[in-house]
Chains A and B, each alone.
Chain A
Amino acid sequence: MKAKKLIPILLAAPLVVALAQSYFGPSELEAIKTGGKTYADVFLNQRPDQALCSIHRNRLPGDLLPKFLEEQRALIKYPQSGKLMGDWKKGGAIFNNLQKANCFSCHFGSPVHLGGDVGPSLEKYGLKRGQSEAVQRYTYEVIYNSWAYFPCTVMYRFGAQGLLTPEEIADVVAYLLDPESDFNTKPAVGSK
């Protein structure tokens, strides 16, 4: 069953790659190869959506948006349990870890680290928005694949790029939304 499902995907993959616009030409990729294998591989394997954002310098023309958003939405997967809010304590460890999700570097609101202002402030996120299913889903999906809401934004696509598992993302959602979470009970570093 699994193998049967895979065959059409395997057949279609090269076709998609061939149809997609690539950003770097062959001679440019040759030049990039002088940077070493691990560096060059990142550009040789540039994804079609990354190429599109590169070509349009992060501002996609309107006529490309519907298809782009649809493709990004299709990448979103959910936890097996179906629960979009996990363990807020685990989520906090992920949120506040520079090597892991590094959320605090761009977003204000962490009670552990002084936040940046590249992204919007998330101060008392859960208290301001409540914990409705719609809020949970929106929060989960933005973290899973920011490009499904904000095409070509700087924010990492944590789930879509495999940086976090669906369960880890649910933990971060809990950290932001749970009224008991340190994020909502303790003052943000730098708050007045």
Chain B
Amino acid sequence: MLLRSWWMVSVVFLLGLALAQGEVDPREEAKRQKQLLQHQAGGGATELIVEQGKELFNRKGPSGKTMAECDFGLGKGVLEGAAARLPRYFLDTNKVEDLDSRIVTCMTRVQGYRPDQVKRQEVVAIAFYIASFSTGKPIQVRLLFPQERELYALGEKLFYARSGARDIGCATCHVTYVGRRAGVLPYADVLGKDKSWTHWPAYRYSNDQIWTMQDRIRACYGNIGHPQPALYSLPILALELFMAYNNNGAVVEEWPAFVR
């Protein structure tokens, strides 16, 4: 643990140093250090969570059923490429669901857990496991149902909204100032070439956390002093659908990902 935090300190220092010298592309530098970290950590953190997720997936719930009885969009128990097609509208719940919320639906409706028995860390681990079946798959999100179109429209509006005491808005940085830097890394082109939708779920080395896009969106708001939307809420789903749709066709490099 101590060793790890020393690593962090030196990495942040190195990145800062590299940037101060202004000679290195910060993205390339981050990528290089990511490989360094992955090598140092043995690359095992992500695989460990996937294994945990697999166990939880095959665990029998109060109803005696495992999660293999659930439909993640491509049919009962079909995981291959399923995560790359989420969020989507589900007839059985009459809702648009992303990977996180579909896992909760599976645990409560099929496996028989009470909502208060659903632990967030378990949901994320299961998300890691299911997402691992979509590595190499292209994002394919549709706007077929009116519920999907409505939520997309809300996501687009939220993305361009200015709100709060700091007049915050996603697009104000992630469209207008793409490539510019406020802090260590340049603002990602989340709707365009950076394909940010494909970067989560991921193991985040810098704070030793496992996150899905839901957590990432909440952190985005939190980092800039804006109140955060609750997990599984419509504004999060709306922003996800908007981002996913705009990243359609992007091939998932690695799910779950490993980020600095």
Contact = CB atoms under 8 A, between A and B. Distances in A.
A35 B230 contact: yes
B182 A39 contact: no
Contact of A54 (B165, B169, B180, B181): B169
Nearest to B153: A28
A36 B165 contact: no
B200 to A, nearest CB: 19
Interface residues of B, number: 38
Contact of B162 (A105, A106, A152, A163): A152
B236 interface: yes
Interface in B179-193: 180-183, 187
B234 A34 contact: yes
Contacts of B207: none
A163 B165 contact: yes
B229 interface: yes
Contacts of A82: none
Contacts of B145: none
Interface stretch (A112-120, A132-140, A173-181): A112-120
Contact of A46 (B160, B163, B228, B236): B163
Nearest to A156: B166
Interface string B137-175: 000000000000001001001101111111101011100
Contacts of A64: none
A147 B162 CA distance: 13
A36 B230 contact: yes
A140 to B, nearest CB: 19
A189 interface: yes
Interface stretch (B15-23, B36-44, B49-57): B15-23
A105 B183 contact: yes
A41 B169 contact: no
B177 A154 contact: yes
A38 B164 CA distance: 10
Contact of A31 (B166, B227, B235): B235
B20 A190 contact: yes
B166 A39 contact: no
Interface in B230-250: 230, 233-236, 238
Given A34-B233, A36-B229, A58-B176, A114 B20 contact: yes
B180 A116 contact: yes
A69 to B, nearest CB: 16
Contact of B171 (A34, A58, A163, A190): A58
Contacts of A154: 167, 172-173, 176-177
A50 B20 CA distance: 35
Nearest to A192: B22
Contacts of A147: 167
Contacts of A50: 161-163, 167
A41 B171 CA distance: 20
A157 interface: yes
Contacts of A152: 162
Contacts of B233: 34-36, 39
B162 A35 contact: no
B226 interface: yes
B123 to A, nearest CB: 18
B238 A31 contact: yes
B226 to A, nearest CB: 7
A184 to B, nearest CB: 20
A143 B236 CA distance: 32
A5 B212 CA distance: 52
B22 A116 contact: no
Contacts of A163: 165-166
B103 to A, nearest CB: 18
Given A54-B169, A117-B180, A118-B173, A189 B163 contact: no
Given A32-B235, A118-B182, A156-B167, 5 more contacts: A35-B229, A54-B169, A118-B177, A118-B181, A154-B177
Interface of B: 16, 19-20, 22, 151, 154, 157-158, 160-167, 169, 171-173, 176-177, 180-183, 187, 221, 226-230, 233-236, 238
7 contacts: A24-B161, A31-B235, A36-B233, A117-B180, A152-B162, A154-B172, A190-B22
